[in-house]
């Protein structure tokens, strides 16, 4: 059976809470009550492998237990890389990436956005570019050396503006 065919394929599991019901109604949060807390997601997670503070199973548990404020004010839901490795292995077809998107959407609406994330958003909104040194001629030069087309179909006006702004130290306008 494909994932598209599933209807009530998995049962709900307790506990639930008003917060987990809230997440359930948010786009992406529909499957949260199917979690059986097996821990396969944490065992599969690349972020969890590099930091002990990030434990996706535990984060789901906190939602199920209704720890709304703690979850929404935490940076942890923002650490998910959306790689979906956990989803490949979850026997209950729980989409943690989508659930954490739902959590982040609620958190953002209520003004809980980690400072680092907010700074990136502000930079993109202001400059249209995320990293100060994100553009260089090196890709074009390398391609030229190899006899390849150097026009990669980017928005050249945009790139020129960014290059002027960040590489050539020109006018910010």
Contact 86, 56 (CB under 8 A): yes
Binding of residue 55 to ligand SF4 (CB under 6 A): no
Binding of residue 94 to ligand SF4 (CB under 6 A): yes
Binding of residue 117 to ligand SF4 (CB under 6 A): no
In whole angstroms, the minimum distance from the beta carbon of 101 to ligand SF4 comes to 10
Binding of residue 96 to ligand SF4 (CB under 6 A): yes
Which structure tokens are listed for 13?
A: 């599991």
Select from 35, 28, 30 the least CA-distant residue to 13. Answer: 35
Cβ closer to ligand SF4: 23 or 94?
A: 94
Range 13-52, binding ligand SF4 (CB under 6 A): 35-41, 44-47
- H/E run at residue 127: helix 115-127
How many residues touch ligand SF4 under the rule CB under 6 A: the total is 26
Sequence length of the chain is: 173
Cβ closer to ligand SF4: 23 or 161?
A: 23
In whole angstroms, the minimum distance from the beta carbon of 77 to ligand SF4 comes to 10
Contact 90, 9 (CB under 8 A): no
């Amino acid at each position: 059976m494909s994932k598209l065919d599933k209807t009530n394929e998995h049962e709900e599991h307790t506990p639930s809470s008003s917060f987990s019901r809230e997440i359930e109604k948010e786009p992406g949060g529909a499957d949260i009550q199917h979690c059986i807390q097996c821990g396969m997601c944490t065992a599969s997670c690349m972020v969890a492998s590099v930091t002990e503070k990030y434990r996706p199973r535990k984060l789901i548990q906190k939602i199920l237990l209704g720890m709304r404020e703690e979850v929404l004010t935490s940076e942890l839901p923002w650490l998910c890389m959306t790689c979906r490795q956990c989803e490949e292995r979850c026997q209950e077809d729980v989409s943690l990436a989508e659930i954490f998107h739902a959590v982040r959407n609620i958190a953002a609406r209520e003004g809980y956005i980690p400072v680092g994330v907010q700074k990136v958003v502000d930079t993109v909104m202001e400059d249209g570019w995320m990293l100060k040194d994100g553009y260089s001629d090196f890709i074009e030069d390398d391609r030229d050396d190899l006899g390849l087309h150097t026009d990669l179909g980017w928005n050249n006006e945009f790139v020129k503006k960014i290059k002027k702004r960040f590489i050539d130290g020109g006018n910010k306008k």
